[in-house]
Amino acid sequence: MVNRKLRVTGLEIIPVRVSDRTRWLFVRLSTDVGLQGIGEASLGRAEGLDELDTFFELVRDRSPFEIQRYRERGRAIAAAGGLRAATAFSAIEQALWDLTGKALDAPVHQLLGGALRDTVPVYANVNRMTVDRCPEGFARSAVLAVENGFSAIKAATFDGLPSRDSSRDDIERAIDLGIAAMAAMREAVGPKIALKLDCHSHFEVDEAIEVAGRLESVDLDWFEEPISPSRVEETEAIRDAIVQRVAGGEMMFGAAGFAPLCRRRAVDVIMPDVMHCGGILEGRDIAALAAVDDIEVSPHNACGPVATAAALQLSAGIENFDGLELQWGEVDWRGDVVEPPERVENGVIVLPEGPGLGVELNDKLLADVRRR
């Protein structure tokens, strides 16, 4: 029988050092009856977010079923507080859904109306696993992903671009290297693998159009965030000028934040992230908004396995779904951070059957990792 008097009583913050480039930040809400719910608030190399305390105060001594109340009380704070606040707000929302699902003994996707798919296609983001940033290094990562069953791969081969005040010669050399890396990946994996490029907003408009033109022979699946997607009209201009699909929106917050991109059809694919967009329910709202304008949704998901578990619950019910990102290959123990383990077979993840997000943290493994 459901305990409708269940109350949230505590917040635990669990930082995990993955590599020199990556930190994961998990949160765990506890209740007065011992039930626990998890979420993820990973943001760069941060080992904590003070903003989590602010949003925890909105749920302390409240029922975890009051998710809509939490969203109404916290959304404006998150929207005004920048990325850190949005990430903290989203993590608490994920954990509330996990608690609600566990209290009702149902997976989150059932509480959102049910799943359209039992398996979720994922693509391998090999960017962080690729330490050797030369074309040969990216090609090796791509081949390894294909050997492990992925049919779609993403990399950010222009992350080595120097600052805009560098000499034009230095910038051009870096652009040439990034293009060569994408070409090497295509040559290594053949024509049937979908290759996605994340530009991380390194370009200006004319530069982005030129680079996209030079990459036409690589046959990209999409050209992601050549400039900040907040520059909506300029993003639209790039989309209209190139042959590749344009994707973006990984750090945007709320349906209101995505609305200008969708209304102008400035991108072909939007990429809400459950860690930054406002959480699982906000992600559903964003997907519905995009469907009205015939835009596909591919949730951004470049962090840890708890965020993946939350993104799977979201992805299960999206009609205009175009695959889920998976940060892949950085450490071999990644999948075992949660129980049951995160496992990818032939480029898909089976939707978890358990209640809530369907996973629990593997505290023993996390303790071992922190001792390393």
Verify whether residue 200 is a known catalytic residue. Answer: yes
Catalytic residue (one of 109, 202, 276, 300): 300
Q: Which residues of 194-231 are buried (b: 16+ CB within 10 A; e: fewer)?
A: bbbbbbbbbbebebbbebbeebeebebbbbbbbbebeb
CB of 243 closer than 8 Å to CB of 251? no
Catalytic residue (one of 109, 200, 202, 276): 200
Verify whether residue 202 is a known catalytic residue. Answer: no
Distance CA 361, CA 185 (A): 35
Map the chain to HEC letters.
CCCCCCCEEEEEEEEEECCCCCEEEEEEEEECCCCEEEEECCCCCCCCCCHHHHHHCCCCCCCCCCHHHHHHHHHHHHHHCHHHHHHHHHHHHHHHHHHHHHHHCCEHHHHCCCCCCCEEEEEEECCCCCCCCCHHHHHHHHHHHHHCCCCEEEECCCCCCCCCCCCHHHHHHHHHHHHHHHHHHHHHHCCCCEEEEECCCCCCHHHHHHHHHHCHHHCCCEEECCCCCCCHHHHHHHHHHCCCCEEECCCCCHHHHHHHHHHCCCCCEECCCCCCCCCHHHHHHHHHHHHHCCCEECCCCCCCHHHHHHHHHHHCCCCCECCEEEECCCCCCHHHHEECCCCCECCEEECCCCCECCCEECHHHHHHHHHC
- The residues annotated with a catalytic role in the active site are 200, 300
